[in-house]
Structure 1
Amino acid sequence: MGLQPRVVPGADLWVQEHRVEVPLDHDDDSKEGKISVFVREVRKASRSQEELPYLLYLQGGPGFPSPRPTVPLGGWLKAAVERFRVLLLDQRGTGRSTPLQTSEVVDESIVHYRADAIVKDCEVVRQAVCGGQKLTLLGQSFGGFCVLSYVSFFPEAIERAMLTCGLAPVGVGVDDVYRATFRRMEARCAKFYARYPEDIELVRRIVRELRDSPRPTPRGGTLTARRFLQLGLLLGSGAGLESLHDLLEGAKEGITPNFVVAVERAQEAFETNPIYWVLHESIYCCAATQAQPSAWAAERVQAQLGDAWDYSTRLEPGDPPILLTGEMVYSWMGDDYAALRPLAKVAAAVAAKADWGPVYDMDVLRNSPVPTACLVSYDDIYVEREFSERVAALLGPNCRCWITNEFQHSGLRDQPVIFDRLLEMACAYLEF
């Protein structure tokens, strides 16, 4: 289960890898068999003999593995190992955990890859690796959603919780989630075009050319106008406006092969991490709030928003700027992205599924006893601030929020000082 720990030469770094067996279906492990989850334990070598508490990090997504430590350690992880034994979990189906199989069996098994299953995996890890000790949790984005699920189902297992841009819209229906995120995207696009007005006509020209002549991509997919507009996903990070502008510069002389490669590289996570496409909308579906299928909610809501979100109405010079989309996923991605094509039927089945189980327990979350600290980005385009504030009020007096426009959704990665601030907020006093 635990491999031999090692000390990294030339660094004050101690690493041990764990592979923990868990049921695919925690409610019926005899039927579905077993999978494994991979956990990397990281601590300072100079403190490897000390009984420091455990911190479990839950990555954003869904469908993305935990970050890999650098040598020397950097970012929030450098601060965390001063006080904790840090567990970096590859959530089920990601990284070095048992991979998601793109075959017929996925139709039934994919429903076991949501937050409720992830936190039950964490409980197995807590017993197997931590000897049942309480955990400090750190969740980024979807990882914060998982933290709230953990608080719902296993509050006794948690010492304290920290969430960065991941205070989930508990109790909000999926259509309302996307209405809010489209509003945020419209505002972010306006900010982008105000900073780079020359990109208004450049985007329009690219969209017009791709509408008339889609380009093949090196991976075997197709760069269409609708796929190109998904580059708005970049706008949610701290340097996102510059990243998009710099990428668009590659098309000033036309849509070259190098520009197509650059777009595909910017969007490669859709193909390397397919759980994101298949399960993304389901993270907003919960028995308590949505007893109906998501049914490609973003696609449906966008169509209801009229001409502003229909690029075909803005193709003439001087028209209003064309709006780019954000974190939304669409049914047509199973056509435009080559690696997603084998999962198209599975994605359709997930979109049609209505009988989702609970991922939160509202009664447990209400006035939660778990000390909780949250970073909320004021104009986050992925996790709506107003919904986050409602959930903070639901959690009660033990939840403290840091609401700021200083950071975007990538704040934890961009500014490691956030970790220390949240830890201070979550703990009136720490003794290590």
Structure 2
Amino acid sequence: MTPELSFAGMLAYKHRFTLPLDYQQPNGETIEVFARELVSPENQHKQLPFIVFFQGGPGFGAVRPAATGGWIKRALQEFRVLLLDQRGTGLSTPVSSASLSHLSAAQQSEYLSHFRADNIIRDAESIRQQLVADDKWSILGQSFGGFCVLKYLNDAPHGVAEAYITGGIPSLSRSADEVYQATYQRVIAKNNDFFTRFSDAQGLVKSLAQHISDNEVRLATGEQLTVEMLQLLGINIGMEQGPESVYYLLEHALISTPSGTIVNPLFLAHFCQLLDYNTNPIFALLHESIYCQNSASNWAAHRVRQQYPQFNYSADKPFLFTGEMIYPWMFEQFNNLKPLKSTASTLAEKDNWPMLYDQTKLASNQVPVAAAIYSEDMFVEMRYSLETAEKVGNLKYWLTSEYEHNGIRMDGEHILDRLIAINRGEKLR
């Protein structure tokens, strides 16, 4: 097979697979799932095992590498890397309001109910059988990808040789409400760190919040900028280099013109680039469902927020950013989410989501698992990760305060190298 792409240090091949939308109806509607295979030139003709990467999200396509580096560089030393666009993302029958427009809200909800981790793993297993038949492969999951890794070990451990998780060990049993109660507390801590570190940031963001409260301001994508939207920038302060990005954006938000103070057009364009709700609707539609097992989320983040009134902005108190939370009003304010408002409500009320994890199965897991748990992670509660780690057989973890949630993006070569050593009982380099 001829590679479609050639980078410095790696070759890339494209794979497309036609798979069932619903595995309970294998002869019914199908979707296409895309995966990109990477291999180093010197290993091009070797029969190396695969390592499959499960992206964070849900609702985001796999990384599109521009050069060899990070965790991919380490993985290519001994693996073929498979970058899987999870169903509905990237080039895998992507989901959008336009792609769903021919369906009623009820039909959209039924369609989207097949896009959780359980079917992502069914896709992966089908792809494994087509690519390597009975051979096992290794799996690596970042953030939500770690949820997928545990689901893989729960459902199809016979296909896995080794497993790796970074910043994404889920609770096996805690409700969405419990998850968000912990999350809001971590977001408060990150806000405190941010506004302490950048001493003038509180003044900058309050001036901006007042301006957009008093004036109609339109984003580059056409929506009216609201204070609630502005608070969503907080999803970035839990990432390495994220606080800097947010601060520099605030720094040039307001400018003076002969006609008075306005919001900088540069700010209005860059603001849209820091939020993904318009471009990745699965993230908003299905995010809370990743915590649901025979239960409904009922807009958990929105309800739990009422326990933390400090997030309700007013001019007489400090401004706080929110984090990785989904709110009903998003489907009234973001243009590409507006057509999906009824669908979002139906999914939030769905109370028959299948179980994701069988604790008895995971307790007897035999697949070697190595996980990086970040103690300062804003997105994944450390206590819940450690709680799960004690319940999964053959799981070893590395607990560190060195990285934020996106550590694998910032120092992936080192992180994966260390996890491989942990899994194999090797001395650390």
Report the AA paired with residue 56 of structure 1.
V
Q: 8 Å contact 2:141–2:165 — kept in the other structure?
A: yes
For residue 8 of structure 1, report the CA deviation from its aligned partner: 4.8
Q: 8 Å contact 1:380–1:408 — kept in the other structure?
A: yes
Which residue of structure 2 aligns with residue 107 of structure 1? 109
Per mean C-alpha deviation after superposition, the further-off stretch among 127-136 and 59-68 is 127-136
Q: 8 Å contact 1:285–1:294 — kept in the other structure?
A: yes
Give distance in 2, aligned partners of 1:334 and 1:142. 22
User: Which of 75, 80, 85 lines up with 2:80 in the alignment?
Assistant: 85
What does the per-residue CA deviation read over 1:239-283, in whole Å, with 9 as the maximum and x for residues that have no partner? 12211111111124352232222212211x211111000000000
Q: How does 1:268-287 map to 2 (within 5 A)?
A: 269-287=276-294
Q: 8 Å contact 2:6–2:12 — kept in the other structure?
A: no
Return 5+ residue gaps in structure 1 as ranges.
none
User: Which of 11, 20, 24 lines up with 1:14 in the alignment?
Assistant: 11
User: Which of 300, 305, 319 lines up with 1:302 in the alignment?
Assistant: 305
Per mean C-alpha deviation after superposition, the further-off stretch among 338-347 and 100-109 is 100-109
Per mean C-alpha deviation after superposition, the further-off stretch among 101-110 and 325-334 is 101-110
Give distance in 2, aligned partners of 1:6 and 1:147. 28
For residue 363 of structure 1, report the CA deviation from its aligned partner: 1.4
Q: 8 Å contact 1:220–1:337 — kept in the other structure?
A: no
Give distance in 1, aligned partners of 2:4 and 2:284. 38
What does the per-residue CA deviation read over 1:357-390, in whole Å, with 9 as the maximum and x for residues that have no partner? 0122221111421111111111211111100000
Report the AA paired with residue 200 of structure 2.
E
Which residue of structure 2 aligns with residue 264 of structure 1? 272
For residue 97 of structure 1, report the CA deviation from its aligned partner: 0.9
For residue 213 of structure 1, report the CA deviation from its aligned partner: 2.8
Report the AA paired with residue 136 of structure 1.
S
For residue 409 of structure 1, report the CA deviation from its aligned partner: 0.4
Which residue of structure 2 aligns with residue 424 of structure 1? 421
Q: How does 1:55-94 map to 2 (within 5 A)?
A: 55-71=51-67, 73-94=68-89
Give distance in 1, aligned partners of 2:6 and 2:397. 40
Q: How does 1:181-330 map to 2 (within 5 A)?
A: 181-253=183-255, 254-267=262-275, 269-287=276-294, 291=295, 293-306=296-309, 308-312=310-314, 315-316=315-316, 319=317, 321-330=318-327
SS state of the match for residue 245, structure 2?
helix
SS state of the match for residue 193, structure 1?
helix
Structure 1 residues 301 and 8, CA gap change in structure 2 (3 angstroms) = closer
Compute the TM-score of the two structures, normalised by the length of structure 2: 0.93
| RMSD between superposed Cα atoms in Å | 1.6
Question: Does residue 1:339 correspond to 2:336, yes or no?
Answer: yes
For residue 401 of structure 1, report the CA deviation from its aligned partner: 1.0
Structure 1 residues 9 and 30, CA gap change in structure 2 (3 angstroms) = closer
What does the per-residue CA deviation read over 1:58-108, in whole Å, with 9 as the maximum and x for residues that have no partner? 00000001111223x111111111100111100001111112222224222
Give distance in 1, aligned partners of 2:416 and 2:6. 27
Q: 8 Å contact 1:367–1:394 — kept in the other structure?
A: no
Give distance in 1, aligned partners of 2:130 and 2:349. 37
Question: Does residue 1:165 correspond to 2:167, yes or no?
Answer: yes
Structure 1 residues 214 and 349, CA gap change in structure 2 (3 angstroms) = farther
For residue 163 of structure 1, report the CA deviation from its aligned partner: 0.3
Give distance in 2, aligned partners of 1:10 and 1:92. 26
For residue 166 of structure 1, report the CA deviation from its aligned partner: 0.6
Which residue of structure 1 aligns with residue 259 of structure 2? none
Report the AA paired with residue 296 of structure 1.
W
Q: 8 Å contact 1:21–1:34 — kept in the other structure?
A: yes
Report the AA paired with residue 125 of structure 1.
I
Give distance in 2, aligned partners of 1:265 and 1:139. 24
Give distance in 2, aligned partners of 1:9 and 1:325. 41
Compute the TM-score of the two structures, normalised by the length of structure 1: 0.92
SS state of the match for residue 305, structure 2?
helix
Q: 8 Å contact 1:169–1:383 — kept in the other structure?
A: no
Q: 8 Å contact 1:65–1:91 — kept in the other structure?
A: yes
What does the per-residue CA deviation read over 1:286-330, in whole Å, with 9 as the maximum and x for residues that have no partner? 13xxx2x21111011001223x12112xx13xx3x2110000011
Give distance in 1, aligned partners of 2:13 and 2:4. 9
SS state of the match for residue 209, structure 1?
helix
Report the AA paired with residue 345 of structure 1.
S
SS state of the match for residue 216, structure 1?
coil
Question: Does residue 1:35 correspond to 2:3, yes or no?
Answer: no
Give distance in 1, aligned partners of 2:5 and 2:90. 21
Q: 8 Å contact 2:4–2:14 — kept in the other structure?
A: no
For residue 429 of structure 1, report the CA deviation from its aligned partner: 6.0
User: Which of 171, 178, 181 lines up with 2:180 in the alignment?
Assistant: 178
SS state of the match for residue 192, structure 1?
helix
SS state of the match for residue 68, structure 1?
coil
Q: 8 Å contact 2:5–2:13 — kept in the other structure?
A: no
Report the AA paired with residue 250 of structure 1.
H
Report the AA paired with residue 221 of structure 2.
R
Which residue of structure 1 aligns with residue 258 of structure 2? none
Give distance in 1, aligned partners of 2:398 and 2:6. 38
Give distance in 1, aligned partners of 2:100 and 2:222. 17
For residue 169 of structure 1, report the CA deviation from its aligned partner: 1.8
Return 5+ residue gaps in structure 2 as ranges.
256-261
Give distance in 2, aligned partners of 1:173 and 1:225. 29
Runs of 4+ in structure 1 over 4 Å off: 7-10
SS state of the match for residue 60, structure 1?
coil
Give distance in 2, aligned partners of 1:241 and 1:261. 18
Give distance in 2, aligned partners of 1:265 and 1:68. 17
Question: Does residue 1:364 correspond to 2:361, yes or no?
Answer: yes
Structure 1 residues 214 and 366, CA gap change in structure 2 (3 angstroms) = farther
What does the per-residue CA deviation read over 1:39-64, in whole Å, with 9 as the maximum and x for residues that have no partner? 11111121122111110000000000
SS state of the match for residue 301, structure 1?
helix
Structure 1 residues 342 and 81, CA gap change in structure 2 (3 angstroms) = same
SS state of the match for residue 284, structure 2?
helix
Question: Does residue 1:352 correspond to 2:349, yes or no?
Answer: yes
